[in-house]
Amino acid sequence: MRGTARGVVDADELAVLKRLALDGGFKGTHKTSCSDLGETLEVSTQTASRRLQRLEELGLIDRDTVADGQWIAITDDGRQRLHAEYTDYRRLFEQGTRIELAGAVESGMGEGKHYVSRPGYMRQFRDRLGYEPFPGTLNVGLTEASEQRRGGLSSLDAIRIDGFETADRTFGPAVCYPAQLIATDVQYDQAHVIEPERTHHAADSIELIAPDRLRDVLALADGDQLRVVVTDA
């Protein structure tokens, strides 16, 4: 027998419901077809058709099939089911502490690139942050109030980057904090604040790393305002 109880939406069907919602059926009605849907979900039109039928049976969507497709509206039950899922994910990602810093983009002194691109660090970034950062840092000069708040970073759980030695010199350990960046009209979720581990001087700026060149993806120039939401690792 199948595991899920009768009348309960299974994971595949829920994924379809989410897709429909994202594509516009969340508020109001939205036109699609089984072949369209099958393509985005990477299943056959037959499967798409069957899943829509089942979502309708479960009372999660209302349908109006016409000659060239169908109009779909998500019911209150459907919205409720999606909201339950939303709540689960919020529990995962919103429970930690968050510290909001504000400041202006400033030109770094080029050191960032030198350090970040060292293989000894790069390897750890890939393993512990989940990506290889763009070889360079974005420097943000903090406002006075943010300078105060910056001290709170040490209370967050950090991702530790170990120091190492080369023939020439020693590279010290560092710590990273997950950060969400909010520019005027764009938002970016995959960045990290990075700072030397044992330094509490010069707290008037922070350095950011990310898989992308932040100046490009956020369309930033020197002096642009940026809000940085730092969270627990």
91 scored as a contact of a copy of itself (CB under 8 A): yes
Q: Which of 9, 21, 49, 105 binds DNA (CB under 7 A)?
A: 49
To the nearest 10 degrees (0 to 180), the angle between helices 34-41 and 45-57 is 100
Within 174-233, the residues that bind a copy of itself by CB under 8 A are 182, 184-185, 189, 225, 227
107 scored as a contact of DNA (CB under 7 A): no
- With beta carbons less than 8 A apart as the criterion, state whether 61 and 74 touch: yes
Q: Which of 42, 68, 168, 216 binds a copy of itself (CB under 8 A)?
A: 42
CA atoms within 13 A of residue 2's CA, in its CB half-sphere: 8
Q: Which of 12, 157, 189, 197 binds DNA (CB under 7 A)?
A: 12
Cα of 98 vs its chain's centroid, Å: 15
Q: Burial level of 71, CB count in 10 A (0-12/13-18/19+)? A: middle
Stretch that binds DNA, among 42-50, 85-93, 104-112, 147-155 (CB under 7 A): 42-50
Q: Which of 33, 45, 71, 102 binds a copy of itself (CB under 8 A)?
A: 102
Collect all residues with Cβ–Cβ distance below 8 Å to 233 and sequence separation of at least 6. Answer: 156, 157, 158, 159, 176, 177, 178
54 scored as a contact of a copy of itself (CB under 8 A): no
Q: Which residues bind DNA (CB under 7 A)?
A: 1-3, 10, 12, 32-36, 43-47, 49-53, 65, 67-70
